[in-house]
């Protein structure tokens, strides 16, 4: 069996962090060990939540136990939301041992989005320190804002985007890079599209992804999990894998949006209920927009060509 | 919401399959939205000889439940399932929080409360005996739909040693008169060297048994998986304990355990001349997932005996 270690958040209710990542991986045959970096009642988008973060000493003792007593061997490691710098540092100290059997590591440097940080600034340096360690990170999946934080470069156009990506390749030696969402402005897009940019030895490619006008949470966590699975099945072919993952994620979002409308209408007992748009910190809309991770079960094995058009970055520069 | 949903209150381990780790995936694979409230955060289960991590304190459990209640109506759960509680204080805290939910139900939709009274197995308690009276209090509330003790747990709760069918009948009768539980399923009882699963429904007084094909090996997490499979079948069967339901659950469990046993033999390069494997620490719920969605309701019906 192929086994994987997932280090992410846990919520009792809803689907973010490990809760969005683990079930899809399990359906694809992965034995997932999961460390919960936080233990919360629900994700913070509801406006209220309860629970606590894992203590760094406890993370250390759990990882030590896995490495020395259980002699775990992981084919893949995934890290997502880690709430503070101490926990990131503790994880980084264990990474060389966790990777000793040649597993590959996907780092999703979850720090914020749209120029807003939801972890402390001290986390940036800790992630940079992980990147500086020798060849530990195989795949990285920041969004545009996180790419800026990691590289210190402000991304205002295609050229600065490429500079930032090259910095990750050259200074940090990361072979597989996916910038999960780049704003339309960078690509002079007049529509509401976002762009997913992938870069590896195969070159740099761009996918245009139509956006559903709503606030979903856990999408990035689902994306990273599916990417690990697809890369393993596609012999590390990044652009094929990303196209498949984008396809699965878009189906999951459509299903979620459709189910959310039905659920909201059923609750309102009113066919004319207004347009449902998820708003952050609004429990009334959030509760309908939890990803339908369970109902999307049959999507996760998708291995077709992908529904998105891939464009070479070079062509876009002309 | 728009799907069947269940709250499962049990243990979490980072590695291996016990508690919520052996329950959540099978339920999810059967289509459930499972909310998972963890009573522990351990590296692995104690069957490995050592472990690290910590139990969830009663205060933080209450804090999380109260936080969850702010954004989610517990009355919308189809099932609330309580499993491994580390101490009497933890169980008391869970009980107090859930009682508040059931008191508010009124005539509306009511979650079915399934209690696995986790005390121990094979003649040995693995929780403090202070937990026992708290379970008894829970059984007296009138809010519990189904309990799923093993033989040792039912003996501990009733004070009756189960050595014959007469003992089983008497223990069940007395239990039924003392507490207000709608359904009882004893996951396994050994009578004359044969294992049986026993089902009982209070309203009809129907008591029946189905023999279990035994694998001479211990499986950590087996009782938790049994309760998870039973919860799904209980819902699908309109919350009635029938021979069809027990046939389905017992057969599914057997298939998964058999798969796990064979996989363990492979992993250990076990040959027929070696000593038989006596313990499987990790049930292969992921590898055996195909069995989770098969239908075995008719598999063992010819072996049902009403008592």
The residue extents of the domains of chain A are 2-317
CB < 8 Å from B in window 186-245 of A? none
Q: Which of B2, B5, B48 to mutate to test the interface with A (most CBs of A within 10 A)?
A: B2
* Beta pairing partners, B144: B113
B60–A297 C-beta distance less than 8 A: no
3-state SS, residue B34: strand
* Beta pairing partners, A31: A3
A152 band by pLDDT with thresholds 50, 70 and 90: very high
**Mean pLDDT for the stretch of residues A168-175:** 96
> Based on C-alpha coordinates, what's the Rg of chain B?
19
Taking each helix axis from N to C terminus, what angle separates A18-27 and B20-29, rounded to the nearest 10 degrees? 70
3-state SS, residue A311: strand
* For residue A275, pLDDT beyond 70: no
Cα diameter, chain A: 60
Of B173, B166, B181, nearest to B135 by C-alpha is B181
A273 band by pLDDT with thresholds 50, 70 and 90: low
CA B238 – CA B247 distance, rounded (Å): 16
Architecture of domain A2-317: 3-Layer(aba) Sandwich (3.40)
- Count CB atoms within 10 A of the CB of residue B30: 19
Phi, psi torsion values for A2, nearest 5 degrees? -90, 130
Which residue from A minimizes the CA distance to B54?
Answer: A58
Whether A141 contacts A107, CB under 8 Å: yes
Per-residue pLDDT at A266 = 82
B51–A33 C-beta distance less than 8 A: no
Residues of B in contact with A259 (CB under 8 A): 2
CB < 8 Å from B in window 292-311 of A? 292, 294-295, 297
Ranges of residues in chain B whose predicted pLDDT is under 50? 1
* ipTM score assigned to the predicted complex: 0.96
pLDDT tens track for A98-121: 999 889 999 999 999 999 999 999
CA B200 – CA B182 distance, rounded (Å): 9
B67–A49 C-beta distance less than 8 A: yes
Per-residue pLDDT at B285 = 97
CA distances, B81 to each of A15, B27, B87, B146, B196 (Å): 20, 12, 17, 10, 23
Per-residue pLDDT at B273 = 84
CA A136 – CA A96 distance, rounded (Å): 7
Of B219, B249, B231, nearest to B78 by C-alpha is B231
Per-residue pLDDT at A272 = 53
Q: What number of helices (H) and strands (E) belong to chain B? A: 9, 15
3-state SS of B163-196 is CCHHHHHHHHHHHHHHCCCCEEEEEEEEECCEEE
Domains and CATH numbers, chain B: 5-306 (3.40.1190.20)
Per-residue pLDDT at B250 = 98
* For residue A261, pLDDT beyond 70: yes
Taking the Cβ of residue B33 and every Cβ of chain A, the question of whether any pair is shorter than 8 Å is answered with: yes
CA B143 – CA B165 distance, rounded (Å): 28
A66–B67 C-beta distance less than 8 A: no
A213 band by pLDDT with thresholds 50, 70 and 90: confident
**Mean pLDDT for the stretch of residues A147-155:** 97
DSSP code per residue over A267-307: HHT-TT-------TT-HHHHTT-S--TTTTGGGTT--SS-S
Of A185, A165, A190, nearest to A175 by C-alpha is A165
- The two beta strands, A2-11 and A30-40, are parallel
Of A294, A181, A296, nearest to A242 by C-alpha is A181
Taking each helix axis from N to C terminus, what angle separates B20-29 and B222-236, rounded to the nearest 10 degrees? 30
Residues of A in contact with B287 (CB under 8 A): 1, 29
Rounded to the nearest angstrom, the minimum Cα separation between A296 and chain B is 10
CB < 8 Å from B in window 3-62 of A? 10, 12-13, 19, 23, 26-27, 29-31, 33-36, 39-42, 46, 48-52, 54, 58, 61-62
3-state SS of A191-219 is CCCEEEEEEECCEEEEEEECCCCCCCCCH
pLDDT tens track for A279-301: 666 777 888 899 999 999 999 99
Which residue from A minimizes the CA distance to B3?
Answer: A295
Residues of A in contact with B2 (CB under 8 A): 259, 262-263, 266
**Mean pLDDT for the stretch of residues A1-6:** 93
Taking the Cβ of residue B70 and every Cβ of chain A, the question of whether any pair is shorter than 8 Å is answered with: yes
Cβ within 8 Å of residue B160, ≥6 positions away: B167, B170, B171, B174
* For residue A1, pLDDT beyond 90: no
Whether A197 contacts A317, CB under 8 Å: no
Rounded to the nearest angstrom, the minimum Cα separation between B5 and chain A is 10
A70–B29 C-beta distance less than 8 A: no
Per-residue pLDDT at A214 = 74
CA B67 – CA A39 distance, rounded (Å): 12
Beta strands in chain A (DSSP E): 2-11, 30-40, 51-53, 76-79, 104-107, 112-113, 116-117, 139-140, 176-182, 194-200, 203-209, 310-312
Rounded to the nearest angstrom, the minimum Cα separation between B148 and chain A is 24
Evaluate the CA torsion angle B182, B187, B193, B194 in order and state its sign: positive
- Higher pLDDT: A314 or A143? It is A143
């Amino acid at each position: 069996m192929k086994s994987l270690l997932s280090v992410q958040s846990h919520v009792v209710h809803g689907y973010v962090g490990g809760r969005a990542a683990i079930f899809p991986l399990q359906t694809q045959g992965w034995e997932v060990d999961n460390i919960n970096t936080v233990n919360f009642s629900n994700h913070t988008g509801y406006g209220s939540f309860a629970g606590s973060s894992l203590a760094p000493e406890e993370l250390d003792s759990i990882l030590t136990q896995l490495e020395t007593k259980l002699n775990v061997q992981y084919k893949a490691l995934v890290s997502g939301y880690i709430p503070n710098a101490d926990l990131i540092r503790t994880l980084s100290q264990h990474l060389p041992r966790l990777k000793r059997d040649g597993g590959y590591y996907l780092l999703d440097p979850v720090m914020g989005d749209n120029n807003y940080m939801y972890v402390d600034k001290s986390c940036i340096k800790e992630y940079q320190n992980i990147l500086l360690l020798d060849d530990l990170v195989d795949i990285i999946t920041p969004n545009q804002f996180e790419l800026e934080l990691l590289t210190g470069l402000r991304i205002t156009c295609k050229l600065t985007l490429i500079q930032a990506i090259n910095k990750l390749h050259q200074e940090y030696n990361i072979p597989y890079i996916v910038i999960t969402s780049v704003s339309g402005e960078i690509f002079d897009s007049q529509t509401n599209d976002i762009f997913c940019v992938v870069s590896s030895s195969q070159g740099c490619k761009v996918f245009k992804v139509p956006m559903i006008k709503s606030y979903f949470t856990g999408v990035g966590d689902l994306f990273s999990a599916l990417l690990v699975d697809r890369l393993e099945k596609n012999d590390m072919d990044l652009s094929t894998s990303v196209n498949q993952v984008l396809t699965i994620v878009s189906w999951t979002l459509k299903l979620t949006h459709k189910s959310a409308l039905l659920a909201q209408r059923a609750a309102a007992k009113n066919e004319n209920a207004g347009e449902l748009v998820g708003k952050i910190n609004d429990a009334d809309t959030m509760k309908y927009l939890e990803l339908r991770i369970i109902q999307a079960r049959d999507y996760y094995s998708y291995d077709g060509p992908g529904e998105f058009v891939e464009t070479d970055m070079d062509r876009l520069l002309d | 919401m728009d799907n069947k949903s269940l709250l499962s209150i049990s243990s979490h381990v980072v590695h291996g399959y016990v508690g919520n780790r052996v329950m959540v995936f099978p339920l999810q694979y059967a289509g459930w939205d499972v909310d998972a409230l963890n009573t522990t955060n351990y590296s692995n289960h104690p069957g490995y000889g050592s472990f690290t991590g910590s139990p969830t304190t009663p205060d933080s459990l209450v804090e999380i439940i109260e936080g969850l209640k702010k954004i989610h109506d517990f009355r919308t759960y189809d099932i609330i399932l309580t499993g491994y509680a580390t101490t009497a204080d933890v169980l008391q805290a869970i009980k107090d929080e859930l009682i508040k939910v059931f008191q508010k139900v009124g005539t509306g939709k009511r979650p079915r409360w399934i209690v696995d009274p986790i005390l121990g197995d094979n003649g040995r308690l693995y929780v403090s005996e202070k937990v026992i009276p708290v379970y008894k209090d829970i059984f007296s509330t009138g809010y519990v739909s189904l309990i799923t003790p093993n033989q040792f747990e039912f003996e501990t709760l009733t004070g009756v040693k189960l050595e014959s069918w007469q003992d089983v009948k008497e223990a069940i009768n007395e239990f039924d008169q003392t507490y207000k539980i709608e359904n009882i399923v004893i996951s396994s009882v050994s009578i004359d060297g044969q294992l049986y699963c026993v089902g009982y429904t209070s309203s009809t007084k129907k008591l029946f048994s189905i023999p279990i094909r035994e694998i001479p090996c211990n499986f950590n997490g087996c009782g938790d998986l049994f309760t998870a499979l039973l919860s799904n079948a209980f819902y699908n069967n309109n919350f009635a304990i029938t021979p069809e339901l027990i046939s389905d659950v017992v057969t599914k469990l057997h298939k998964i355990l058999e798969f796990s046993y064979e996989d363990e033999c492979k992993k250990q390069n076990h040959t027929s001349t070696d000593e038989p494997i006596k313990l499987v620490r990790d049930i292969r719920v992921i590898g055996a997932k195909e069995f989770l969605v098969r239908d075995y309701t008719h598999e063992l019906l010819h072996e049902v005996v009403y008592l």
